[in-house]
Amino acid sequence: MKKHWKYWAAIIFLPAVAAASLTGCGKPAEKSGEQPLKVGFVYISPVGDAGWTYAHDRGRAEMEKLPFIETARAVESVAETADATRVMTQLAAQGCNLIFSTSYGYMEQTLAAAKRFPEVVFMHCSGHKTAPNMSTYFGKMYQARYLTGMVAGKMTGSNLIGYVAAHPIPEVIRGINAFTLGVRKVNPEAKVRVVWTYTWFDPPKERQAAVSLIEVGADVIAQHQDTPGPQQAAEEAGKYSIGYNVDMAPFAPRAHLTGAVWDWGVVYTAVAEAVHEGTWTNQPIWWGIETGLVGLAPFGPMVPDEVRQLVKAEETKIAAGQLKIFSGPIRGQDGEVVIPKGKSLSDEELFSMSYFVEGVEGEIPR
């Protein structure tokens, strides 16, 4: 037994040496500014290396560069349960005067925290409830989805496009519909088949859903998920893919056609400035492609020039307000007209969308 002290010493001290050599940074955040702003973020998943939370964290980092930001701290992997109320309470108690909650499931919890801390500004992403000190922010991602749909419609050979979707909620349904309208604009024969995963963040499950879609003949995989799992499945199977959240080309260089991406820094910088200058109001933020909040990832080398120009022309029209995506006539899954000619959907109707348009194969749970 006494000979084995070496093993134990190695087990205990090797990590110590390794960790000590990594130690370093930890600089104090000292910035000038008359009224420093402490900002808190609540994230649904770990930041990771791609996806929804990663996109928000890039926006956070961009906002942090503003001179009057003292700290911009994030709490990751907060469950959409009463846990979120505690996290926001703790952030406010630590002196945050602006708090962003970045998932729709934090709606009631954000409202509860906003009532408790009336002097703190709360911004809830993708919800629809406001208070005097709480508002919402979101972007018209469906515009970018429509454009990516056009690319997918042009590039599919089997006329079956797979769509790995997280939860059957209006945001996701709106995206699937816009995507499908884009697909069918350039390819009326193509169909979009939807698989629900019931999770935002589960790399193996997202990948498995994509694999199952490829197995039934899909040759382009789109996603409304938070990780590049579906992209990697497409890459491995030699199919094409459409990314989401951030440019996912690094994860699937041969598959990634383009993607619908967020630039949250646009919103975070604007809101922080408004709060700092005292001009903030609880008017909800609902910005389109013209602001840069939503947009397209760079095209992959396999996308022909003709397709790129077609999409760019459509993008210009959307940005100029000349093209509204949900304007009639649009048919529902059963072929009946759901949006009559001459009508386009209001924001309220977009926010509560709960049906699929023609060309989508899949079901919304009732």
Partner 1 sequence: MRPLTFITFEKRLEPGRGARLAVTLASLFLALVLSGLVILAVGVNPVEAYTALFSGAFGTLYGLSETLVKTTPLILTGLAVALCLKMRLWNIGAEGQFVIGFLASVLIALALPGRPWYLLLPLMAAAALVGGGLWAGAAGLLKARLGVSEIITTLLMNWVAILFSQYFAYGPLKGLDGFPYSPAFCPGACLPSIGWGRVNAGLFLALAAAVVLHLVLKHTLWGFEVRVIGDSPKAARAAGMKIEKKIVLVLALAGGLAGLGGFVEVSGIEQRLSPHTAIGYGYTAILIAWLARSHPLLVILVAFLFGGLYTGGEMIQVGMGVPVAVIRILQGAILFFLLAGDFLMNFRVRFGKKVSSER
Q: Point out which residues bind partner 1 (CB under 8 A).
A: 4, 7, 12, 15-16, 18-20, 22-26, 40, 46-47, 71, 73-77, 79-83, 86-87, 89-91, 93-94, 104-105, 107-108, 128, 167-170, 173, 198, 351-354, 365-366
- In whole angstroms, the minimum distance from the beta carbon of 51 to partner 1 comes to 15
Nearer to partner 1, 112 or 310 (CB): 112
Task: Tell me whether residue 8 or residue 305 sits nearer to partner 1 (CB atom).
Answer: 8
Shortest gap between Cβ of 15 and partner 1 (angstroms)? 6
CB of 319 to partner 1, least distance (A): 28
- Given a contact cutoff of 8 angstroms between Cβ atoms, the answer to whether 152 and 220 are in contact is yes
Using the minimum distance from each CB to partner 1, give the nearer residue, 61 or 310: 61
Nearer CB in complex with partner 1: 20/320: 20
Work out whether the CA dihedral 176, 178, 183, 187 comes out positive or negative: positive
Residue 129 Cβ vs partner 1, minimum distance, rounded to whole Å: 9
Q: How far is the CB of 195 from partner 1 (least distance, A)?
A: 15
Q: How far apart are CA 275 and CA 300, in angstroms?
A: 39
Smallest gap from Cβ 237 to partner 1, in A, equals 27
Cα 151 to chain centroid, rounded? 20
Coil/strand/helix, residue 40: strand
What's the min distance (Å) between Cβ of 93 and partner 1?
7
How large is the angle between the packed helices 83-93 and 107-116, nearest 10 degrees? 40
Report d(CA 285, CA 267) in Å as an integer.
8
Which residue in 177, 223, 173 sits closest to 200, CA to CA?
223
CA atoms within 13 A on the CB side of 243: 32
Give the shortest CB-32-to-partner 1 separation in angstroms.
21
In the structure encoding, which two tokens stand for residue 228, read together? 């590049």
Instruction: Give phi and psi for 97, each to the nearest 5.
Output: -110, 5
Nearer to partner 1, 6 or 341 (CB): 6
Strand locations in the chain, DSSP E? Answer: 37-42, 69-75, 98-101, 121-125, 134-139, 160-165, 191-196, 220-224, 240-245, 256-262, 285-287, 294-296, 330-331, 337-339, 360-361
Of 234, 180, 230, 235, the C-alpha closest to 207 is 230
